[in-house]
Amino acid sequence: MRVVTILILLFFCKAAERKGSPGGARNRVNHSRAGGSRKGSSLVKRYAPGLPCEVYTYLHEKYLDCQERKLVYVLPGWPQDLLHMLLARNKIRVLKNSMFSKFKKLKSLDLQQNEISKIESEAFFGLNKLTTLLLQHNQMKVLTEEVFIYTPLLSYLRLYDNPWHCTCEMETLISMLQIPRNRNLGNYAKCESPQGLKNKKLRQIKSEQLCNEEEKAHLDPKPQVSGKPPVIKPEVDSSLCHNYVFPIRTLDCKRKELKKVPNNIPPDIVKLDLSHNKINQLRPKEFEDAHELKKLNLSSNGVQFIDPAAFLGLTHLEELDLSNNSLQNFDYGVLEDLYFLKLLWLRDNPWRCDYNIHYLYYWLMHHYNVHYNGLECKMPEEYKGWFVGKYVRSYYEECPKDKLPAYPETFDQDTEDDEWEKIYKDHTAKKQSVRITIVG
């Protein structure tokens, strides 16, 4: 009964929202259907730009249906006694260690049609009841048998339509698939590269074939390049920029009239200044090779769009300056790779306060150690000048408070200028003192 009440309330709130703010909700999101609901997960669900996931029981087995929700990770609040988890057609890119370890009863896991390119070695930890695993239509190139040591009952595994790179690294997996009792593991999966093994079935390759190819790759003068798909010629060359080594490795590409992010950024760069260029969008994996990058300045570029995978690989990034661009919101997923982000400049962008800004706001709310500034509505007219936090709260205030999660009052507004300067200085000072300590 209570669930039904909540659903009805939610429905009315959504309806009110659509009526109340003409500029709001550029309906990419389908608000009109309501799914299953579980207390506790609702907060997180709300920033998945879609519908809540459905939990249901069929023939005494509990299912979670969370397909096509643009998920990049499992959400807290999913019931732990699920037997079947349907996560197809989402945006998951990495399966992290122990990602599913809470779901000890899981028998089947459907991850097909995601963007998985990496499975960490303990990703399936705890899944010792798992029998079925669907990984077809993803982006995996290599995988080893190791990841399956936690799934002793696995009897049905789909791996086809992944760009398998059949080298020595794949040997353990391929041998596993070839054991006669593993009849239903990895059928139909084929190599994409190297050229000599293209379209060969994994289950039919002999280990000598694999390892010879690997040796050839070693003899190749540029082994890293040869493993990748053919890369288009550099469109923008980072040699236009100045490269400094001291005090930190910096690539200074300020005011170079660049229309794109240079694609040969040296991998050891710590600071990259791309300010005052003409980069109007960030494409997937723009900074993929810059593993060491800690500071990235993209201010004053006219950036309008950031692909959700643009920052992939920037795990160590601490400071990101996106001020003075043309951003109206962030697509779901844009910030997920920035595990160590501390400072985020958002000033002087035409932030549009509608449903699409919720992701950015909730991400910041959940990452309370990230300091940011300049998140102020510029559009539509009725919210102009409001802090985005105030707008988001007003969005939910039309609903009875006790039925919806309460948002911390302290998260009202972004940092005031004076305070921001202080945070910025503290942050810089702290880092310097750390460096001095290490040196001394």
Ligand X SMILES: *[C@@H]1O[C@H](CO)[C@@H](O)[C@H](O)[C@H]1NC(C)=O
Name the site residues for ligand X (rule: CB under 6 A): 30, 32-33, 254, 275-276, 297, 299-300, 302, 319, 321, 324
According to DSSP, the β-strands at 54-58 and 84-86 are: unpaired
For 43, the token pair is 């907060």
Bridge partners, residue 1, by sequence = none
- Whether 409 and 386 have beta carbons less than 8 Å apart is answered as no
Residue 223: HSE in the Cβ half-sphere, 13 Å Cα cutoff = 8
Tokens 């089947």 identify what position?
Answer: 108
Angle formed by the axes of helices 171-178 and 207-219, nearest 10°: 170
Distance of closest approach, residue 290 Cβ to ligand X, in angstroms: 16
Measured from the CB atom, is 124 or 345 closer to ligand X? Answer: 345
Name which of 263 and 324 has its Cβ closer to ligand X.
324
**Considering beta carbons, is residue 167 or 250 the nearer one to ligand X?**
250
Query: Looking at the DSSP assignment, which residues form a beta bridge with residue 358?
Result: none
- What's 81-107 look like in SS3? CCCEEECCCCCCCEECCCCCCCCCCCC
CB of 323 to ligand X, least distance (A): 7
Q: Which is nearer to ligand X, 138 or 297 (CB)?
A: 297
| Residue whose CB is less far from ligand X, 150 or 287 | 287
**Least distance CB 382 / ligand X (angstroms):** 26
User: In the bound complex, what is the minimum distance in angstroms from residue 373's beta carbon to ligand X?
Assistant: 11
Is 201 or 316 the residue whose CB approaches ligand X more closely?
316
Q: Measuring CA to CA, which residue among 230, 231, 278, 222 is closest to residue 254?
A: 278
- Contact (Cβ atoms closer than 8 angstroms) between residue 103 and residue 85: yes
* Closest distance of CB 8 from ligand X, Å: 16
Q: Considering beta carbons, is residue 250 or 263 the nearer one to ligand X?
A: 250
Cβ 70 to ligand X, closest distance in Å? 13
Q: Report, in Å, the least distance between residue 355 CB and ligand X.
A: 15
Nearest approach in angstroms of CB 31 to ligand X is 8
- Return the number of the residue (108 or 373) whose C-beta is nearest ligand X: 373
Specify the amino acid at residue 390.
K
β-strands 132-134, 118-119 pairing: unpaired
Nearer to ligand X, 127 or 261 (CB): 261
Q: What type of residue sits at position 381? A: E
User: Which lies closer to ligand X via its Cβ, residue 35 or residue 77?
Assistant: 35
Contact criterion met (CB below 8 Å) for 36 and 54: yes
Pair 74, 94: CB distance under 8 Å: no
Q: How far is the CB of 426 from ligand X (least distance, A)?
A: 14
H or E segment at 359?
helix 358-366
Dihedral class, residue 192 (left if φ above 0, else alpha if ψ from -120 to 50, else beta)? alpha
CA distance linking residue 256 with residue 277, whole number of Å: 6
Question: In whole angstroms, how close is the CB of 116 to ligand X at the nearest point?
Answer: 24
Task: Please tell me whether residue 213 adopts helix, strand or coil conformation.
Answer: helix
CB 287 within 8 A of CB 294: no
Q: Reduced to 3 DSSP states, what percent helix, strand and coil does the chain have, rounded to the nearest 5?
A: 25, 15, 60
Measured from the CB atom, is 302 or 405 closer to ligand X?
302
For residues 290 and 269, give the distance between their C-alpha atoms in angstroms, rounded to a whole number. Answer: 6
Least spacing, CB of residue 89 vs ligand X, in Å: 13
